[in-house]
Amino acid sequence: MTNLSVLYDAPGPRARRRNTLLAVLFVALLALGAWWVWRALDENGELESAKWTPFVNSQAWTTYILPGLQATLTAAALAMVIALPLGAILGIGRLSDHWWISKPCSVIVEFFRAIPVLLLMLFANEAYALWTNVDRADRPMYAVVTGLVLYNASVLAEVVKAGILSLPRGQRDAAQAIGMRKSQTMGYVLLPQAVTVMLPAIVSQLVVIVKDTALGGALLGYSELMRSVGLVSANYGNIIASFIVVALIYILVNFLITSFASWLEGKLRRGKRSTGKVLTADPAGATAAAGVGAAPAAGTGDAPKP
Amino acid sequence: MFEFLDLERYDLFGAFWVTVQLTFYSALGSLIWGTVLAAMRVSPVPIMRAFGTAYVHLFRNTPLTLIILACSQGLYFTLQFDMGTGGDPEPLGFRLAVLGFVAYTATFVCEALRSGINTVPVGQAEAARALGLNFSQVLRLIVLPQAFRSVVAPLANVLIALTKNTTIASAIGVAEAAALMKVMIENEAQLLPIAAIFAFGFIVLVLPMGLFLGWLSKRVAVKR
């Protein structure tokens, strides 16, 4: 895993003894912490079986959790499907030779990346209420998806831009040398190769989107997975248990997505048909630097990987 | 156009000041806790590595909203863990939010630091050891100076993301910028100007940060 050897030489007998001692101390510390948490939970009666059995029966699942999960995944999928083409347009637009295309695209991207996605959702929610006749019940969903699209389109624009820039210069030169137009160069030569380079980064962005849908549940009343915590605990009086179960579902979903992304990345890196370069996403949702020199690094492999 | 902006009634600067404070304390806390986590993840003790890895994977894959709400509803309302405030709602919400931000953001700080250490070529440390430097000298003179330089840009991204994430504290009633925006767009029929003000506020916070740290990271970058 980590290249330990940068920091540590192979341990000798003394280092090994010290490491064992550290391990024992650390385990003791962990056990102490675990005991403290356990006691706090036990004193408040959070460990009673009555609070956990709802998750063994199917009712809590079919009534609250699974519909919530479905709403979360729907919003995330919709946001991704809409944001991706928009992001591609903005990203390619930023690379345009015409300043009157590239400048506005840059401004849009930098603007939406600098603004918290929650503000975008609040704005969208109110905008739909004021200026459209979207049904009251559907409005939170529209607002969540709109907020996510605005933010993630600009993040994906950076991914697309970095993907295209990561291709060897010769690709563009060769395409132009055989007489292709700029649009042909982009459409037949650069973009298809860039897509394979940036696929892992795009999949990883899904994790950020899934996590951000929770905002809609907490602050706009979109009845997704996060909101089912409130519903379940209101019914069974088991706040801690429902938080833990729902958190585990999120972790599982995101773990599946990241595993898929790294599998894809490994496959593409080994693949013969691509340049062997792969964009790794910065999974912080932190891709959001306000621009300046913070585009995701191509193929350096030093971006934090999940 | 901006006559609705009654600063007596809406404490705009106060709200952004709370955002700045949330960012500052959370950044400080997550830098410390993230460094501890990173130290665990690169330590030669397997159990520490396992704990660091598990913590990072669990917390980074949980929505921040869920963590913040769990801090409020789980830690305080259920387990009566009041962070030494005695239940006074003003500092309580603030401290619970900072706790949640630190728990979450530290995972990204940890990963940034770890990747920074990993960018230092093994040969650097081997050469240092061959010269007879001991562990602390290798760390102090060779590895960390190079690691810190390559860590500026990823840490800048984390800080900017944190600044924007502090808006989530409005979910547990901390009176920061997003909470005020929510109140204002409900009370005043002036959506666009209000949204423009808050967007401008965040751009003013985030853009200079990004410009300065981007400049800094280029300046200190190690040429390899």
Quick one: average pLDDT of A167-181?
Answer: 93
Q: Within a domain: residue B61?
A: yes
Token pair in block for residue A24: 């024992």
What would the mean pLDDT of B15-36 be, rounded to a whole number? 94
CATH number at residue B209: 1.10.3720.10
**Helix (H/G/I), strand (E/B), else coil: B170:** helix
Q: How far apart are CA B68 and CA B27, in angstroms?
A: 16
CB contact A234 to B (< 8 Å): no
Beta carbons within 8 Å of B161's beta carbon, 6+ residues apart: A284, A285, A286, A288, B105, B108
- Chain A positions in Cβ-Cβ contact with residue B78 (cut-off 8 Å): 44, 46, 239-240
Contacts of A161 (CB under 8 A, 6+ apart): A91, A92, A94, A95, A295
Q: Chain A: give the shortest CA distance to residue B77, in Å.
A: 9
Q: Are B29 and B104 in contact (CB under 8 A)?
A: no
Distance in angstroms (rounded) separating the CA atoms of residues A72 and A214? 8
Q: How far is residue B48's CA from residue B52's CA, in Å, rounded to a whole number?
A: 6
Q: With a CB-CB cutoff of 8 Å, which residues 266-285 of chain A face chain B?
A: 282-285
Amino acid at B133: L
φ/ψ of residue A298, rounded to 5? -90, 125
Residue B75 confidence (pLDDT): 86
Q: Are A302 and B118 in contact (CB under 8 A)?
A: yes
By CB neighbour count within 10 A (0-12 exposed, 13-18 middle, 19+ buried), where does A113 fall? buried
Domain parsing of chain A, residue ranges? 51-270
B158 part of a folded domain: yes
| B150: Cα within 13 Å, side-chain hemisphere | 23
Q: How many domains does chain B have?
A: 1
Q: How many CA atoms lie within 13 A of A154 on its CB side?
A: 27
The architecture of the domain spanning A51-270 is: Orthogonal Bundle (1.10)
Q: CA neighbours within 13 Å on the CB side: how many for B206?
A: 30
**CB-based contact A288 B122, cutoff 8 Å:** no
pLDDT tens readout for residues B77-133? 888 877 777 777 778 889 999 999 999 999 999 999 998 888 888 888 889 989 998
Contact B115 A240 (CB under 8 A): no
Sign of CA dihedral A66, A68, A72, A74: positive
The answer to the question of residue B125 being in a domain is yes
Q: Is residue B124 situated within a structural domain?
A: yes
Whether B7 maps to a domain, the answer reads no
Which of B47, B186, B210 lies at the smallest CB-CB distance from A27?
B47
Flag whether B6 is in a domain: no
Residue indicated by tokens 């700045």: B20
Q: For residue range B167-192, list pLDDT tens digits in order.
A: 999 999 888 999 999 889 888 878 89
Q: Which amino acid is at B4?
A: F
Domain extent for B82: 12-220
Query: Using the 8-state DSSP alphabet, how is residue B71 labeled?
Result: I
- Calculate how close chain A gets to B8, using CA atoms only, in Å: 23
Gap from A170 CA to chain B (nearest CA, Å): 23
Report if residue B1 sits inside a domain.
no
| Backbone conformation region of residue A224, classed left if phi is above 0, alpha if psi is from -120 to 50, else beta | beta
Report whether pLDDT(A75) > 90: yes
Which pLDDT tens digit goes with each residue over A30-68? 999 999 989 988 888 888 888 888 888 878 888 889 999
Q: Region of A226 please: left (phi>0), alpha (psi -120 to 50) or beta.
A: alpha
The answer to the question of residue B5 being in a domain is no
